[in-house]
Chain A
Amino acid sequence: MNPALRIPAEFVAPSVEDAHLPPFFTVGTLEVGKHSLLILLSVVLIAGFFMYVVRRRALVPSKGQYLGEMGYGFVRNHLGRDIIGEKEFRPYVPLLFTFFFFILVNNLFGSIPVLQLPTFSHPGTAYVFAAVAYVVWVFVGIKRHGFGGFFVKMTMPPDVPKVLYIVLIPLEFLSNMIIRPVTHALRVFATMFAGHMAIMVAAGFTAYLATGVGGALGIGGSVFGVILGLFIYFLEVLIQILQAYIFTLLFAVYVQGSLQEGH
């Protein structure tokens, strides 16, 4: 089903199916496919890397530990401390860390040959992450302000004429409580999915031009296809990193919004 492997007689655009390979094996109804293995691989890679580099807890870091500290420190300081605030960011650092590196590594899987599947291009993964984020920031907000206080905070922006609340309350509720988590999930899913599809299209296009059309035109076109594919590839790497950052950043902003006093 992989477009790069078949020799097309005519150009067939890759479909969603192509991004969902059949499972390698099933245990009962549990389907264990490439996607699930990649998820578990990412956990092993992240935990292994960070625990390995910091194993000595050296005051003067080795190269590896320095790299690990840069990664951890980036999440801790730029996503945690700078956004959630000096006083309260500490409990959220492991969560931010998990979000960021889990998404980052799983996205980058899309750009690693052979693995070649950003796991967030499968919507379930993105839904789970957005749901966890949603539950956490809503819980934090209710815990801090009480149910009523949190509801008011989320639906009634201050300094607005009272009449406008008739319109604003449903709008704000829709915006903050429903659209926010949905976009949180769809943003990372859609970019990963689109990127994955774009690369598959470029690959399928190239393969079709080279083998299906043939001749000087076909080969020339396939060279163009390769260049286009490479361009998309690097753009995709950038987007994969950026989306991991954006997802975690938004979560930090949501938590900060839940924690702050007043509005």
Chain B
Amino acid sequence: MTAMLLAAEEGASPLLPNVWEMLITFIGFLILLFIAIKFIAPAFEKVYRDRTEAIEGGLAKAKAAQAEAKAARDEYNQQLESARLEAQKIREEARTEGEKILADFKDRANVESARITENAHKAIEAERAAAVVSLRDEVGTLATQLASKIVGESLNDDARANRVVDRFLADLETEQGRTGAAR
């Protein structure tokens, strides 16, 4: 009885460890520590690292993109400026060219109009000459008829009449030849 009580009291001491429980605890602790070292810590550290990298990488990428955009904009502005200059030059050239062409056309038109005017003058001259010739023929005939009516019988002498007409016609021919040469 006393021994049992003693044993109970011994077992009852809360500070006395159970060796098996200590062993199990130690084993459990080692297993968990192993898993923590091998799997859990690396996994979480990787997540943290990846996240940091993603954020920092994103920032760097954004900065690079910004620089690139700025470069592109500068280049674009430069191109725009040169294009503007080019356009101005081309416009200037076009204007001079246009003015030249206009002047050219004006010249040509003037020449053409001069030529047309001259041709018209010549045509009129020719018409006039032709009219003069035909008038002369008719005037000659009419004058002869009139003269013969007036002079009557005296002019029936053929020799005399022929001489007068021939001389008259020769005069006309010389005049006609002159106008023809002028034409």
Contact = CB atoms under 8 A, between A and B. Distances in A.
Interface residues of B, number: 36
Given A124-B21, A127-B17, A129-B29, A51 B44 contact: no
B16 interface: yes
B15 interface: yes
Interface residues of A, number: 48
A68 interface: yes
B34 to A, nearest CB: 9
A46 interface: yes
A97 interface: yes
Contacts of B91: none
Contact of A94 (B15, B37, B48, B54): B37
A127 B28 CA distance: 14
A177 B19 CA distance: 24
Interface string A30-52: 11110110011011001100110
Contacts of B50: 57, 59
Interface of B: 8, 11-22, 24-26, 28-29, 31-33, 35-37, 39-41, 43-48, 50-51, 54
28 contacts: A16-B12, A16-B13, A17-B12, A29-B20, A30-B20, A31-B18, A36-B24, A39-B21, A39-B28, A47-B40, A54-B40, A65-B47, A68-B44, A94-B33, A98-B32, A98-B33, A98-B36, A101-B32, A102-B28, A123-B14, A123-B15, A123-B16, A124-B17, A124-B19, A124-B22, A124-B25, A129-B25, A129-B29
Given A39-B25, A72-B40, A98-B36, 13 more contacts: A17-B11, A20-B18, A39-B21, A40-B28, A51-B35, A73-B44, A93-B41, A94-B37, A94-B41, A97-B41, A124-B18, A128-B25, A128-B26
